[in-house]
């Protein structure tokens, strides 16, 4: 093997290594859907359970973490069943046309759908869940593709 081929092989190897390191760094620092909590566990255990980077799925541009391989498989078989309403934004804020981040503890699974809220918004959400869902569903259709910063 001549020196050009050796240098070319070495360069290709280093490039692949750097790409893999960058991909892992991106994964390690990115934000996750549902704040990294297992969206399946909300349904099956009725509580927030922190997901693990060992079990993840990527859908609609969002990475979701799971506490177990079993939960990942349930999600992969039927993501729509487990995805949080309104892209995971605060359900109560959605009724007001806003996209706010949520608190994993401030959740409700209602009629098979996961609704996340900010901690201080949850009590208002619970006062009229069906009415709030009706309002939020209408607003979501109008603002789902708008950058949250433009709604503040």
Q: pLDDT digits over 20-69, tens only?
A: 443 333 344 358 999 999 999 999 999 999 999 999 999 999 999 999 99
- % pLDDT > 90, the chain: 76
Q: Is 42 in contact with 102 (CB distance < 8 Å)?
A: no
Residues in the chain: 152
Whether 16 shows a pLDDT value over 60: the answer reads no
- Both tokens assigned to 82: 């487990």
What are the structural domain ranges in the chain?
A: 1-30, 31-81, 84-152
10-27 residues labelled b (16+ CB within 10 A) or e (exposed): eeeeeeeeeeeeeeeeee
Per-residue CA distances from 85 to 7, 88, 143 (Å): 52, 6, 13
Q: Is 30 in contact with 24 (CB distance < 8 Å)?
A: no
**Is the model's pTM score more than 0.85?**
no
């Amino acid at each position: 093997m001549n020196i050009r081929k050796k240098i070319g092989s070495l360069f290709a190897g280093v490039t692949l290594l750097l790409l893999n390191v960058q991909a892992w760094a991106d994964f390690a620092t990115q934000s996750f859907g549902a704040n990294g909590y297992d969206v399946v566990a909300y349904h099956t255990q009725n509580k927030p359970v922190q997901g693990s980077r060992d079990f993840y799925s990527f859908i609609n541009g969002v990475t979701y973490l799971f506490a177990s391989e079993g939960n990942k498989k349930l999600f992969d078989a039927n993501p729509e069943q487990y995805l949080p309403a309104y892209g995971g934004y605060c359900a109560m804020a959605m009724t007001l046309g806003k996209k706010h981040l949520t608190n994993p503890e401030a959740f409700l699974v209602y009629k098979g759908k996961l609704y996340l809220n900010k901690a201080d918004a949850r009590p208002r959400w619970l006062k009229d869940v069906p009415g709030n869902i009706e309002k939020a569903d209408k607003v979501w259709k109008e603002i789902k593709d708008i950058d949250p910063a433009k709604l503040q």
